[in-house]
Amino acid sequence: MQITPTNIHTFKQGDIVDFDMGTFKGYGKIVGQATTPVAIAGVNYIIESMDGQFPNETYPFTHLTVFECLITNHPNKNVD
């Protein structure tokens, strides 16, 4: 994925988003901000996974942090 300014979004708490970090891909809900914005990568958001793949043996947590350059809006905003 090429990171350009058009990839950078501003998300808010409760937004449903897709994330793609290579090894970890899925969707979840933004529950907070982990860091202040970093040049190129943007804000590092805390995401609660909603697709059922976490926790697992490799990653035993329900939340993860993802830079906004790796996040896109989820097409279905009403996912439960």
pTM for the predicted model, two decimal places: 0.79
Amino acid at 73: N
Question: Between residues 57 and 75, which one has the greater pLDDT?
Answer: 57
Q: How many domains does the structure of the chain reveal?
A: 1
**pLDDT: which is higher, 50 or 9:** 50
The answer to whether position 80 is within a domain reads no
9 band by pLDDT with thresholds 50, 70 and 90: low
Q: What are 14-62's pLDDT values in tens digits?
A: 999 999 988 889 999 999 998 877 778 888 999 999 998 888 898 899 9
**Residue 58 falls within a domain, yes or no?**
yes
Q: Is residue 78 part of a domain?
A: no
Residue 62 lies in domain = 5-73
Averaged pLDDT for residues 64-79: 84
Asked whether residue 54 is domain-assigned, the answer is yes
Q: Do the Cβ atoms of 30 and 12 come closer than 8 Å? A: yes
What CATH code is carried by the domain that includes residue 9?
Answer: 2.30.30.60
Determine the Cα–Cα distance for residues 2 and 29; give it in Å rounded to an integer: 24
Nearest alpha carbon to residue 28 among 37, 38, 17: 17
In a domain, 79, yes or no: no
